């Protein structure tokens, strides 16, 4: 089988395999996104993109913050702004936490979710979560309804004056934050058994507030759509702030990354991506099995290159078979003309007329004899021996006439 045919069959087989694997891996049902991050970049049920898109409709400017907390100082000063941290995927380190708490001097803070508990501890509250325990939450004094949102955690006041965090004692240091003085506490949501679900703290040392929400579920798209969590979430910001900043760096949406990384991540999570990987592996295995054919093709029978004499003999044989002796003699005479005339005059004159116009007076007797014989050989109908005689005559003329 020829190599081209083998390559066509291999490519066709890999294409058929990729299509088959893609069809087998494709689900007939609509896939629900499994990303459960409470991020404004996630449009699935667990994301918080609905809140980001709804705030501009009530006159609030939104912004995603994807830098490290050290870059918070670069944010422009807006009189009424809030920084929202929704259950970060990656916890804040103690130095980052101090920078975030320091930003509270320029903006209000909204902290929600279990992963934000270490930030809440710096304001004297912690989160209590009981497995399987969920309660409907409603504003104080209001009755719960079928559309009241469910909460799975509650806020408990610690009563500490200083919170010491020793989670990074081995690589950073033991960090401590002092609980700021609180002027007032406003209960926003309350669950069954009078459990706190959301509170707003008014600081006494400067004019900024902190909103603590025990369960980040209140900000997810599914809760905003199907429960009264939507009016509650919009009520936290509408008419109160001019700009709301969503912290996305600790959700895993930092500025780092590359197209190659995104492509690999997609290929490992998509049936079509797996089909491409499997086809690549099959192609690599086939290439390894055919590795003995690497390099230039080497013939099995060694053949030496023909010499110049063999080429001349072959040409003479071909001319003899075609009775082209006159052609050969004409080519010999044209070669002599090419060597004697300047480049600009080689094609302006006919080679027969040029041969007749040669000056015989300056020739030697040997050259005149060769010239006469060459003129006789240029007549049509010469035998095969005339080619050799013409070649010898041309050599004699060349030795006499060459510059």
The per-residue pLDDT for range 115-135, each reduced to its tens digit, is 999 999 999 999 998 777 788
pLDDT attached to residue 348: 57
Locate 236 and state its tokens: 């936290």
Select, from the ranges 121-125, 283-287, 308-312, 325-329, the one with the highest average predicted confidence (pLDDT).
121-125
pLDDT attached to residue 275: 85
Question: 366, 400 in Cβ contact below 8 A?
Answer: yes
The per-residue pLDDT for range 1-35, each reduced to its tens digit, is 455 566 666 667 767 766 776 665 554 444 445 78
What distance in Å separates the CA atoms of residue 252 and residue 301, rounded to the nearest whole number? 64
Locate 144 and state its tokens: 């719960």
What distance in Å separates the CA atoms of residue 374 and residue 391, rounded to the nearest whole number? 9
The per-residue pLDDT for range 150-193, each reduced to its tens digit, is 999 999 999 999 998 876 666 666 788 999 999 999 999 998 77
Identify the bridge partners of residue 185 per DSSP, sorted by sequence position: 201
What distance in Å separates the CA atoms of residue 244 and residue 82, rounded to the nearest whole number? 5
Average pLDDT value for the chain: 83
pLDDT attached to residue 24: 58
Residue in the block written with tokens 């209590």: 128
What distance in Å separates the CA atoms of residue 274 and residue 279, rounded to the nearest whole number? 9
The per-residue pLDDT for range 206-257, each reduced to its tens digit, is 899 999 999 999 999 999 999 999 999 999 999 999 999 999 999 988 876 6
Select, from the ranges 38-52, 285-299, 331-345, the one with the highest average predicted confidence (pLDDT).
38-52
Backbone dihedral region for residue 194 (phi beyond 0: left; psi -120 to 50: alpha; all else: beta): left
Taking each helix axis from N to C end, the angle separating 259-269 and 271-289, rounded to the nearest 10 degrees, works out to 100
What distance in Å separates the CA atoms of residue 201 and residue 23, rounded to the nearest whole number? 55
Locate 66 and state its tokens: 């994807």
Question: Which is more confident, 102 or 263?
Answer: 102
Min mean pLDDT across 50-64, 82-96, 97-111, 339-353 is at: 339-353
What distance in Å separates the CA atoms of residue 46 and residue 29, rounded to the nearest whole number? 19
Residue 352 has pLDDT above 90, yes or no: no
pLDDT attached to residue 27: 47
Runs of H (alpha helix) within 133-208 = none
pLDDT attached to residue 32: 47
Question: 83, 237 in Cβ contact below 8 A?
Answer: no
Provide, rounded to the nearest whole percent, the portion of the chain with pLDDT above 90: 41
Min mean pLDDT across 24-28, 85-89, 198-202, 394-398 is at: 24-28
**CA nearest neighbour of 72 among 96, 92, 56:** 96
Min mean pLDDT across 96-100, 204-208, 389-393 is at: 389-393
Residue 146 has pLDDT above 70, yes or no: yes
| Helix, strand, coil fractions of the chain, as percent rounded to 5 | 45, 15, 40
Tally of CA atoms within 13 A in the half-sphere of 192 that contains its CB: 11
**CA nearest neighbour of 217 among 112, 310, 320:** 112
């Amino acid at each position: 089988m020829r190599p081209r045919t083998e390559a066509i069959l291999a490519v066709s087989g890999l294409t058929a395999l990729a299509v088959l694997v893609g069809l087998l891996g494709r689900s007939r049902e609509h896939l629900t996104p499994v990303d459960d991050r409470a991020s404004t970049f996630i449009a699935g049920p667990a994301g918080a993109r609905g809140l980001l898109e709804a705030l501009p409709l009530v006159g609030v400017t939104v912004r995603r913050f994807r830098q490290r907390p050290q870059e918070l100082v670069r944010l422009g000063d807006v009189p009424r702004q809030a920084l929202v941290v929704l259950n970060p995927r990656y916890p804040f380190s103690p130095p980052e936490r101090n920078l975030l708490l320091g930003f509270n001097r320029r903006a209000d803070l909204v902290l929600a979710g279990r992963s934000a508990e270490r930030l809440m501890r710096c304001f004297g509250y912690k989160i209590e979560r009981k497995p399987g325990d969920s309660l409907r939450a409603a504003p104080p004094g209001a009755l719960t309804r079928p559309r009241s949102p469910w909460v799975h955690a509650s806020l408990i006041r610690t009563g500490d004056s200083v919170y010491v965090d020793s989670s990074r004692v081995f690589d950073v240091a033991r960090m401590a934050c002092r609980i700021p003085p609180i002027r007032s506490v406003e209960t926003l949501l309350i669950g069954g058994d009078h459990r706190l679900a959301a509170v707003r703290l008014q600081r006494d040392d400067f004019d900024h507030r902190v909103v603590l929400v025990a369960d980040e579920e209140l900000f997810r798209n599914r809760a905003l759509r199907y429960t009264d969590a939507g009016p509650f979430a919009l009520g936290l910001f509408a008419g109160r702030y001019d700009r709301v900043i969503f912290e996305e760096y600790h959700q895993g949406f930092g500025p780092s990354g590359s197209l190659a990384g995104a492509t690999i991540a997609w290929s490992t999570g998509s049936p079509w991506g797996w089909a491409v990987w499997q086809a690549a592996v099959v192609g690599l295995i086939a290439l390894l099995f055919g590795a003995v054919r690497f390099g230039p093709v080497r013939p099995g029978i060694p053949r030496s290159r023909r010499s110049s004499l063999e080429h001349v003999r072959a040409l003479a044989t071909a001319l003899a078979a075609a009775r082209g002796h006159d052609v050969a003699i004409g080519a010999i005479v044209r070669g002599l003309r090419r060597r004697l005339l300047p480049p600009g005059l080689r094609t302006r004159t006919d080679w027969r007329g040029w041969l007749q116009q040669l000056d015989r007076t300056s020739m030697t007797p040997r050259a005149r004899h060769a010239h006469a014989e060459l003129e006789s050989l240029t007549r049509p109908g010469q035998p095969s021996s005339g080619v050799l005689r013409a070649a010898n005559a041309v050599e004699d003329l060349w030795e006499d006439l060459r510059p």
